[in-house]
Amino acid sequence: MFLKKKILSLIVIILSNIPLDYSGYLKQISSSNAITQQPQDLPRKTLYKDKTKIETHLVVKRGARRVYVYRNKQVLKTFPIAIGKPGWETPLGKYQVKYMKKDPIFKNFKTGEIIQPGSKNPLGKRLIVFMVGKKFHLGFHGTNEAKFIGQAVSHGCIRMHNKDVIALYELVNVGTPVKVLP
């Protein structure tokens, strides 16, 4: 009975140290006697956080009409923004950057009109989408009407000065977390 408990304990130790991608280790264990495997011979899960990793995230404060770029918990940059108008409020919540586009093509979700990149394009120089919907997407973009920055005028998107959205584009990647607060 004691030997069975000892063997069972050893199997539990071995199995608890198998990494999430364990296909190669299963072949190794099935082709040999698993009981003879020593736990130190198997790779262990990382139990610490890599403190050298640069973590960037964005916080939008609708009331302040600003977006804050955080890097490792410190504000790196902040930019003025325009937000969604009444009835089209920029939605609160947690998101991630889904895709990014330089010199985007605008397609009006109401009329289907297409506007190529240039001075008449309401998306400006850059587009950083964080919410993908069935009819339209929401994100940060430039504008051809800078006079509206600081106001609630969009259909939910976050408008920025073109120079600011270009700078923001260089600071984020697909997957960057975005939090929209009141």
- For the stretch 146-160, pLDDT in tens is 999 999 999 999 999
Q: Do 31 and 115 share a domain, yes or no?
A: no
Q: Is residue 62 part of a domain?
A: yes
Same domain, 30 and 93: no
pTM beyond 0.75, yes or no: no
Domain range holding 142? 56-181
Specify whether 16 is located in the same domain as 60.
no
Same domain? 7 vs 73 = no
Task: Tell whether 37 and 86 lie within a shared domain.
Answer: no
**18 within a domain of the structure (yes/no):** yes
Residue 47 lies in a domain: no
Three-class DSSP labels, the chain? CHHHHHHHHHHHHHHHCCCCCCHHHHHHHHCCCHHHCCHHHCCCCCCCCCCCCCCEEEEEECCCCEEEEEECCEEEEEEECEEECCCCCCCCEEEECCEEEECCCEECCCCCCEECCCCCCCCCCEEEEEEECCCCEEEEECCCCHHHCCCEEECCCEECCHHHHHHHHHHCCCCCEEEEEC
46 domain residue, yes or no: no
Note whether 11 and 85 are same-domain residues.
no
Does residue 87 sit within a domain?
yes
Active site residues: 141, 157
Same domain, 93 and 169: yes
- Region 42-66: mean pLDDT is 75
Confidence of residue 27 (pLDDT cuts 50, 70, 90): very low
- Domains identified in the chain, total number: 2
* CATH number of the domain to which 85 belongs: 2.40.440.10
Q: What pLDDT, in 10s, does the model give residues 97-111?
A: 999 999 999 988 789
69-123 per-position pLDDT tens digit: 999 999 999 999 999 999 999 999 999 999 999 999 998 878 989 999 999 999 9
